[in-house]
């Protein structure tokens, strides 16, 4: 899951070397937290949150194949 979210995030930002994805598993729940450079936060979130929503959809689909629930967060 980490690799998928990291690949998506790195392809969207100006500073891919500063992308950090932390994954926390709790039973069947996976929480992915994406941290990027301050000037790249808007690129990850997108207009009206469309980009982060798309990342969430892809991550949830990948998690469903494993029987897991996935939550993607972008603090900042």
Which range marks the domain in which residue 42 is found?
2-73
pTM score of the predicted model:
0.91
Could you report the per-residue pLDDT of 51-60, keeping only the tens digit for each? Answer: 999 999 999 9
Report, as an integer, the average pLDDT of 2-15: 96
Q: What is the dihedral of CA 4, 5, 6, 7, to 10 degrees?
A: 50
Tell me the three-class secondary structure of the chain, residue by residue: CHHHHHHHHHCCCCCHHHCEEEEEEECCEEEEEEECCHHHHHHHHCHHHHHHHHHHHHHHHHHHHCCCEEEEECCC
Average pLDDT over residues 47-75: 96
CB-CB contact of 8 with 15 (8 Å): no
Question: What is the per-residue pLDDT across 21-48, written as a single tens digit (0 to 9) for each?
Answer: 999 999 999 999 999 999 999 999 999 9
Q: What's 53's domain CATH number?
A: 3.30.300.20
- Count of the separate structural domains present in the chain: 1
């Amino acid at each position: 899951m980490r690799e998928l979210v990291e690949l998506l995030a790195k392809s969207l930002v100006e500073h891919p070397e500063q992308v950090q994805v932390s994954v926390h598993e709790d039973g069947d729940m996976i929480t992915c937290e994406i941290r990027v450079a301050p000037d790249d936060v808007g690129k990850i979130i997108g207009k009206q949150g469309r980009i982060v929503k798309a990342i969430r959809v892809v991550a949830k689909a990948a998690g469903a194949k494993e029987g897991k629930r996935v939550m993607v967060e972008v603090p900042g």
